[in-house]
């Protein structure tokens, strides 16, 4: 694929916006436009700024421009027998690396391997002051003080224009086996809590209300031994991609889709709507028209995000102290409020 460094053009557009006080709507492939509030502003498209900047597989680090298609990054890693363990969903072929970082979404392996944020080593960012700055680097130990690189993960473009990111990668597992066990939700969650204290090679676990689905990854011997112990019917591994990309029938139902991030020891929950348990209980997908989901999640010790476009408060409302920190960060990095105004919260 063609590579092109368009950082100068992006910086020029930001400086023009600064001079004219024009809000900017930052986007790449627009594959996750359904997340967050509607943004009004001049489009700043990152897709021309693309390509692999540096990749040496033996270093387990790759540096890539933000407009690079996510599929291109994953294909490059796959060709070298490596992967991003956090399994970021794409939701469309147009998805870019910048969108992966901006939304910070992770897939089924997240509780066992870490989130997108955990694999960010360094970034280059254009700030609202018209500066193109580098944070972090391409080595594992690079943090002195506040880690601004990882702060960009999940910021939905509200703090700056991401131009480049360095990511830690890992070798792909030698063996992978997915299985289904026909056990109810209560027993599945109890078993998962028990198995979590044991050296089992589980890398994904979800329950659809009827069956428990597990993915086992590691050496051939450990995967085979775990399968013999747990039993279960072998399952096509495409199941996890379909879950991650919301291609399963559960996600087709017309009601709004909510993601509840909760303590994984809560057990079965009597929620208003159809639910799918993921991340061994730490993530609950819920199809519901109930408007009290944020309060419900907070009462359970977690938070909720609406994954259906058009909700005026898609993210969990912030406590006063957190709201103050968010305002301070926004003021430091984007004092004119140019970048994706109102995308996360109406307050900024």
Q: What is the DSSP letter of 124?
A: E
- pLDDT tens by residue, 27-69: 999 999 999 999 999 999 999 999 999 999 999 999 999 999 9
Answer whether 135's CB lies under 8 Å from 149's CB.
Answer: yes
Between CA 159 and CA 146 the distance in angstroms is 15
Q: 141-150, 225-234, 299-308: which range is least confident on average?
A: 141-150
CA of residue 344 relative to chain centroid, distance: 15
Half-sphere exposure of 83 (CA within 13 A, CB side): 11
Residue 316: CB partners within 8 Å, gap ≥ 6?
Answer: 294, 297, 298, 303, 304, 305
Query: Which tokens sit at 115?
Result: 């989130």
Taking residues 276-302, report their average pLDDT.
97
Q: Where are the domains of the chain?
A: 7-171+325-333, 175-306
Between CA 16 and CA 11 the distance in angstroms is 9
Taking residues 246-267, report their average pLDDT.
95
Q: What is the pLDDT of residue 141?
A: 46
Q: Which residue has the higher pLDDT, 93 or 291?
A: 93
Query: Distances from the Cα of 99 to the Cαs of 49, 105, 111, 234, 279, in angstroms?
Result: 13, 9, 21, 34, 22
Residue with tokens 């590691």: 218
pLDDT band at 136 (very low <50, low <70, confident <90, very high): confident
Q: What is the pLDDT of residue 253?
A: 81
CA of residue 118 relative to chain centroid, distance: 11
Indicate the average pLDDT of the chain. 95
Query: Which tokens sit at 250?
Result: 């559960």
In CATH terms, the fold of domain 7-171+325-333 is: 3.30.465
């Amino acid at each position: 694929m063609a590579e092109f460094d368009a950082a100068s053009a992006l910086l020029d557009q930001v400086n023009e916006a600064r001079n004219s006080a024009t809000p900017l709507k930052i986007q790449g492939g627009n594959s996750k436009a359904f997340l967050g509030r509607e943004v009004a502003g001049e489009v700043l498209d990152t897709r021309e700024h693309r390509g692999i900047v540096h990749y040496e597989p033996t270093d387990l680090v790759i540096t890539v421009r933000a407009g690079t298609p996510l599929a291109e990054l994953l294909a490059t890693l796959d060709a070298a027998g490596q992967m991003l363990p956090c399994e970021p969903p794409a939701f469309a072929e147009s998805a870019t690396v910048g969108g992966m970082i901006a939304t910070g979404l992770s897939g089924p392996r997240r509780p066992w391997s870490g989130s997108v944020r955990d694999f960010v080593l360094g970034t280059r960012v254009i700030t609202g002051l018209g500066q193109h700055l580098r944070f972090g680097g391409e080595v594992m130990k690079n943090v002195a003080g506040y880690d601004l690189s990882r702060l960009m993960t999940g910021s939905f473009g509200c703090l700056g224009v991401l131009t480049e990111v360095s990511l830690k990668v890992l070798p792909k597992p030698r063996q992978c086996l997915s299985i289904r066990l026909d056990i109810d939700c209560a027993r599945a969650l109890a078993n998962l809590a028990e198995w979590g204290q044991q050296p089992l090679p589980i890398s994904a676990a979800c329950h659809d209300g009827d069956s428990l689905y597990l993915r086992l990854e590691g050496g051939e011997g450990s995967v085979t031994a775990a399968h013999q112990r747990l039993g279960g019917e072998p399952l096509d591994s495409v199941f996890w991609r379909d879950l991650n990309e919301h291609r399963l029938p559960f996600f087709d139902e017309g009601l709004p889709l909510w993601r509840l991030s909760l303590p994984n020891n809560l057990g079965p929950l009597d929620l208003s709507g159809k639910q799918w348990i993921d991340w061994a209980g730490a993530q609950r997908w819920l199809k519901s028209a109930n408007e009290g989901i944020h309060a419900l999640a907070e009462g359970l010790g977690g938070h909720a995000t609406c994954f259906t476009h058009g909700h005026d408060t898609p993210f969990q409302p912030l406590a006063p102290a957190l709201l103050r920190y968010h305002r301070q960060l926004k003021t430091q990095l984007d004092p004119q409020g140019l970048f994706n105004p109102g995308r996360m919260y109406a307050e900024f």
